[in-house]
Amino acid sequence: MTIAAPPTVVLQGVSRWFGQKVAVSEISAEFGPGVTGLLGPNGAGKTTLLRVLTGLIRPSEGSVSVFGFDPRSDHSVYNRIALVPEDENVYSFLSAAEFVAHNARLQKIGDPVEAARRALEMVDLTDVADRKLAGFSKGMRQRAKVAAALVHDPEIVILDEPLNGTDPVQRAHLTRIFVDMGRQGRTVIVSSHVLHEVERMADRVIAMVDGRLAASGTVPALRAAMSDIPLQIRIDCDQPRRLAAALLENDWVGGINVEEGSLHIRSLDAEQLGRALPGLAKTLDIRITRFAPEDESLESVFRYLVEGR
Partner 1 sequence: MNAHLAIVRVTLRRLITRKRMIGFILFASIPAVVVLFASTGDRSPDRLAELYHNTTFAILLVVALPVIAIVNATGALGDERRSHTMSFLALKPIPRWSIALATILASVGATLTVAFFAVGLGWLVAGSATADWGIGRGPALAALIAAIGYGTIFVPIGLLTRRATVIGLVYLFLWESSFANAVAALAPTSLGHIALQAYTDVAPGMDFVDSLGTLEPDAGKALLKVLVVALVSLAFTTWALHKRDLA
Binding site for partner 1 (CB under 8 A): 51, 54-58, 72, 75-79, 81-83, 85, 87, 89-91, 93-94, 102-103, 105-108, 148
Give the list of residues 6+ apart from residue 126 with CB closer than 8 angstroms, or none.
Answer: 117, 120
Closest CB to partner 1 among residues 20, 76 = 76
- Smallest distance, partner 1 to C-beta of residue 94, A: 7
Give 78 or 291: the residue with its C-beta nearer to partner 1: 78
Rounded least distance, CB 280 to partner 1, Å = 54
Quote the least distance from Cβ 122 to partner 1, whole Å.
18
Asked if residue 239 lies in contact with residue 227, where contact means CB atoms within 8 angstroms, the answer is: no
113 versus 172: smaller Cβ distance to partner 1: 113
CB of 133 to partner 1, least distance (A): 11
* 110 vs 168 by CB, closer to partner 1: 110
Range list of β-strands (E), the chain: 9-18, 21-31, 34-39, 61-66, 81-84, 156-160, 187-192, 204-209, 212-218, 231-237, 253-259, 262-267, 288-293
- What number of other Cβ atoms are within 10 A of residue 142's Cβ? 26
Nearest residue (CB) to partner 1, 94 versus 276: 94
Give least dist CB 158 to partner 1, A. Answer: 9
Nearest approach in angstroms of CB 76 to partner 1 is: 5
Q: Which is nearer to partner 1, 107 or 272 (CB)?
A: 107
Q: How far is the CB of 220 from partner 1 (least distance, A)?
A: 33
Contact 247, 280 (CB under 8 A): yes
What's the closest the beta carbon of residue 228 comes to partner 1, in angstroms? 37
Query: Distance between CA atoms of 136 and 157, rounded to whole angstroms?
Result: 23
Evaluate whether 252 touches 230 at the Cβ level (below 8 Å). no
For residue 286, CA distances in Å to 55, 132, 157 come to 60, 61, 54
* Amino acid type, 192: S
Burial (0-12, 13-18, 19+ Cβ within 10 Å), 165: middle
Nearer to partner 1, 132 or 303 (CB): 132
**b/e 267-285 (16+ beta carbons within 10 angstroms → b):** bbbbeebeebbeebbeeee
Label residue 153 left, alpha or beta by phi (over 0 means left) and psi (-120 to 50 means alpha).
left
Tell which residue, 194, 171, 191, 182, has the closest CA to residue 123: 171
Judged by beta carbon, residue 69 or residue 291, the one nearer partner 1 is 69
